[in-house]
Structure 1
Amino acid sequence: MVCEIPRVTVTTWSSRSIILVGPTYRKYLEKTLEIVRNNEVASVVGQPGMGKTTLLKKIEEITKTDNLSIYLDLANKQSIDEEFWTKTTQFELREKALLELQKIKGKLGYSFWKRLMGVKFEDWLLKICNKYNNPFLRVYCLSYERNFDGMINALRDMKNLSKLVLLIDEIRDYHLSLIHRLINAGLDIPIIMAMPTEVYSKVSDLAIRRRIEESRIPLDDALTSEDIKEIVEAYCKDLTEDILPIIITLWNSKEITNVSSILQFIRNEMDKVEKVCEKNNIDCIRSELRKYTSLRNPEVDAKEFEKKVRELLSNISKEFGISYVHPRGKRIEVDGKSIVVGLFFIVDDQVYLGDVVFSNDGSLYNYEELKLLSKIEEVEHDKKVYKVRGRFVITNTATNINNIYTLNIPTLEVVKILNGDVFLLEERLKILFDQYQTPTRNETENLAL
């Protein structure tokens, strides 16, 4: 498959599947690993889908080789210790503890004669679980009460086996009091905890908030365009140039707001494309994806867009004080030449003139006509002369013409509007009308629109 997007939530990925890319996340990963090295406490805070779990799982992946890393997922768990005792693997702990206990066999009463009699050392340890005050023996036997205090005692002993790294995910407000107790237990181990922004914002206990703030890693608003590019490249390298413009447009318009929604969008679009194209037919897939980022016929689409704008202007006329919307293009004489202006409407006895111009290559086919539009000061309509209040162009390409306001709408949004998204069109037209709110006298004389 061209794009390898996991079909499960990040919290169920194995650590082998964790992909963490982007300069922002690499920076935060290195910061967190430094915190681990210094045996400090850190909190990863962010909205759902911003990569909190991914960051923790990546830390687990990196640290588990040389450390005893414990990852606790508190989603739908009422207590920390419940998850701890579920995740504590006795087999792995016994292997580590056994290596230390074999160094002190004699002190534990395991003599040459016992070995000669066929008593295995492992069996002997189980018989003496409660006879010696030894941290390795307690770990081997897991001789702890299955509650919060028992968890603290177990952690205190386990850190003698290896450097201990505690990663706690999906913390909720009802976990905070126990988290505070855990931090203050004097374990001297690194604790990295992740919580949603909503939970963090509700922390009222000053002592808890101070501990959380000590090394807070904020993921909200951290994602940059370079991060997004690397994320797309990581999952869809061969289609980055085709998918990235779509993702950036959706990100800028707040239609996708986090890493999870980026991956979800790509997966959904690839599912649609695969109904038309074979899985590895790159050319077919690109052709389908480009339908989102290019127009089939820019000039024809511009005329259709103008029609939709006129229809909407008529529907919102009362809200914006529009007294007249011309039902088609308006022919106007300027500098001895005749041009057709696509949009013509009247507000408060002042005229607004505009054109819709789309392009797939960044060029404007009617650039000279737009320059003429910028010169129009008065328009005669129905035997009355109106002052021109504003001149504008709606386009999907970057342009700058004196005395003309440019309302730039990305191609992806243009396609959505052409497909019937009236609400999106209304949002964009409101940006246009915002240009006229309480202008100064100087603005009235010089405003381009």
Structure 2
Amino acid sequence: MCEFEEYTVSKYGDENVRVAGKVWTETIKIIENAIMSRKNAVITILGQPGMGKTLILNAVKKELNEKAFILYLDLVSSPSLSKASWYTIRNTTVFEKIRNNAFKILYEHKKEIGYGLLEKMSKEFTNWMRHLCEKRKWSGNYVYAERLYCMAYEENVEGFIEFLNDLINLGPVGLLIDELKNNEGQLLELHKIINETKIPIVITLVPDVISQIKDSALRRRLDEFKIELKLRDEDKLDILKTYCEEFAEDLINIKEIKSSDTVNKLLDSAREAYNKALSSCKDEYKKMECIKNELKREFEIENIEDASKMLEAEIRQGLLELQKEYNIDYIHDRGKRIEQVGITIDIFFRRGNIEYLGDIKLTNENTVENIRNVKKLIGFNRDGAYEVRKFIVTNSTNVDLNEFKIITVDNRTIKDILNSNREKRNELVRRILKELEVTPT
């Protein structure tokens, strides 16, 4: 049976990692190769929230944790890259791993670092090293190991750079930075680290952040090796098979799932559809067959005409609830006849000198057939003293009509609204108003 996670967005440090989709698996290989071959490279991973950026870093950390020194930083709650770095070093297992490896090197080269016969007679090596750490007097070819064992660094960006340049002498190093922000402090420190170290650095961020970075030199480095996560149809099926191989083909045929634009939305929709089908079929003898049949019906709107009327009424009710917040002057209490073009429009409201005309167009097919009536509104841009703005609320992704704002809403949300989910309804109404540039007052 299927094994969907209850929480489908990867959290920083999750060890329960499932990777699927060509771009995700290939990106992980690229990063792992860069770390193990000690490339001096900056790899930038771009993707909207819910696209699996953190999943990639979790997978790299899990795979290479025993083979390399992986420093994995979470910048979600830290304005400072160096503070996040030192927190990670001091509070994760990498601290003891580094010190143990440094100790082995120093123990193998005791004489070269000054631990001779006299020192051996007076102090055990570990005690001698403790005094060395206190004095911080380094010498010879193993200064890097001495500093690493003693963790003798200033806990700022300069100290972190010195630490990284020492650490590469112990083995492969990878610096993973999750959720870089357009924060001047983070960006200045990142640029300094990139310029003054020779290690692979992997950075995840959303497209909006990289577009806001003004430092052209840093931007060039971030653009050198850029991977953008986009969800293709073949990836969707591959991901579904990883979690639900028996029903992946059935799930991908559900419009709500197939149209998902993020990994998170894909898995959330698939999990909900599967769980509903499983619940409906729990007492059935032929459970597999029953689930397949239920999935075919999942998220379909049973009576399009009734659903359209109900959604119209819910949107109107939402407008009434938000009327004061948005300073809406007038909301018509039913469909409004537009005599100039000879049609009745579903939604009509007015604010200031603008009239807003909206229609509900729902379908269970790939296209909306009953759109001819609203086409009569094309060119109808003024009603006396009022400017006219027009919109369509639809569950189809194939509606494109000049002069209309197209508000697309998925069937799952529609069904929630029709089942009296007030929060979802008002969320949709706020989205409609935002698209129409109607702002709260």
Is TM (by shorter chain) over 0.5? yes
* Range 280-289 or range 4-13, more displaced: 280-289
Q: Distance in 2 between matches of 1:324 and 1:180?
A: 60
Q: Distance in 2 between matches of 1:418 and 1:8?
A: 20
Corresponding position of 2:137: 131
Q: Distance in 2 between matches of 1:87 and 1:357?
A: 52
Partner of 2:214, secondary structure, is coil
Displacement, 1:193?
0.8
Displacement, 1:59?
2.4
Partner of 1:223, secondary structure, is coil
Partner of 1:49, secondary structure, is coil
Q: 1:173 aligns with which of 174, 182, 202?
A: 182
Displacement, 1:167?
0.9
- Stretches of structure 1 that go unaligned for 5 or more consecutive residues are 296-300, 326-355, 363-395, 397-411, 425-449
Query: Are the equivalent residues in 1 in contact too, given 2:102–2:170 (CA < 8 A)?
Result: yes
Q: Distance in 2 between matches of 1:309 and 1:179?
A: 52
Displacement, 1:212?
0.9
Corresponding position of 2:239: 231
Query: Are the equivalent residues in 2 in contact too, given 1:135–1:157 (CA < 8 A)?
Result: yes
The number of aligned residues is 333
Corresponding position of 1:332: none
**Mapping 1:153-168, distance limit 5 Å:** 153-168=162-177
The percent identity for this pair of structures is: 25
Corresponding position of 1:260: 264
Displacement, 1:320?
9.2
Corresponding position of 2:224: 214
Q: Distance in 1 between matches of 2:112 and 2:363?
A: 88
Corresponding position of 2:99: 94
* Range 89-98 or range 157-166, more displaced: 89-98
Q: Distance in 1 between matches of 2:106 and 2:309?
A: 83
Partner of 1:180, secondary structure, is helix
Change (3 A) 1:99 1:273: same
Q: Distance in 2 between matches of 1:54 and 1:324?
A: 50
Q: Distance in 2 between matches of 1:13 and 1:43?
A: 19
Corresponding position of 1:3: 3
Displacement, 1:76?
0.8
Q: Distance in 2 between matches of 1:110 and 1:265?
A: 64
Q: Distance in 1 between matches of 2:201 and 2:97?
A: 21
Q: Distance in 2 between matches of 1:273 and 1:358?
A: 19
Partner of 1:100, secondary structure, is helix
Output one character per residue of 1:331-372: Cα deviation in whole Å (capped at 9) or x when no partner.
Answer: xxxxxxxxxxxxxxxxxxxxxxxxx9989xx9xxxxxxxxxx
Query: Are the equivalent residues in 1 in contact too, given 2:9–2:52 (CA < 8 A)?
Result: no
**Mapping 1:141-156, distance limit 5 Å:** 141-156=150-165
Letter in 2 for 1:92: K
Query: Are the equivalent residues in 2 in contact too, given 1:35–1:41 (CA < 8 A)?
Result: no
Q: Distance in 1 between matches of 2:11 and 2:53?
A: 10
Q: Distance in 1 between matches of 2:73 and 2:171?
A: 18
For the aligned residue pairs, the C-alpha RMSD in angstroms reads 4.1
- Stretches of structure 2 that go unaligned for 5 or more consecutive residues are 313-333, 346-361, 367-395, 397-409, 426-441
Partner of 2:63, secondary structure, is helix
Displacement, 1:67?
1.8
Output one character per residue of 1:34-61: Cα deviation in whole Å (capped at 9) or x when no partner.
Answer: 5443321121112111111112222223
Partner of 2:112, secondary structure, is helix
Q: 1:106 aligns with which of 87, 108, 111?
A: 111
Q: Distance in 1 between matches of 2:203 and 2:5?
A: 26
Query: Are the equivalent residues in 2 in contact too, given 1:173–1:202 (CA < 8 A)?
Result: yes
Corresponding position of 1:80: 81
Partner of 2:268, secondary structure, is helix
Partner of 1:145, secondary structure, is coil
Letter in 2 for 1:202: Q
Larger radius of gyration: 1
Query: Are the equivalent residues in 2 in contact too, given 1:35–1:42 (CA < 8 A)?
Result: no
Corresponding position of 2:359: none
Q: State the TM-score, normalizing by the size of structure 1.
A: 0.63
Q: Distance in 1 between matches of 2:195 and 2:220?
A: 12
Displacement, 1:144?
0.7
Letter in 2 for 1:98: F
Partner of 2:165, secondary structure, is helix
Q: Distance in 2 between matches of 1:418 and 1:148?
A: 50
Alignment pair present for 1:245 and 2:256? no
Displacement, 1:287?
4.5
Letter in 2 for 1:94: R
Partner of 1:167, secondary structure, is strand
Letter in 2 for 1:62: E
Change (3 A) 1:307 1:64: closer
Partner of 1:48, secondary structure, is coil
Partner of 1:44, secondary structure, is strand
Q: Distance in 2 between matches of 1:276 and 1:226?
A: 29
Displacement, 1:216?
1.2
Q: Distance in 1 between matches of 2:40 and 2:339?
A: 61
Partner of 1:207, secondary structure, is helix
Query: Are the equivalent residues in 2 in contact too, given 1:50–1:258 (CA < 8 A)?
Result: yes
Q: Distance in 1 between matches of 2:24 and 2:207?
A: 17
Q: 2:338 aligns with which of 309, 318, 322?
A: 318
Change (3 A) 1:115 1:357: closer
Displacement, 1:152?
0.9
**Mapping 1:356-435, distance limit 5 Å:** 413=411
Displacement, 1:65?
3.3
Partner of 1:161, secondary structure, is coil
Partner of 1:10, secondary structure, is coil
Displacement, 1:9?
4.0
Q: Distance in 1 between matches of 2:166 and 2:192?
A: 17
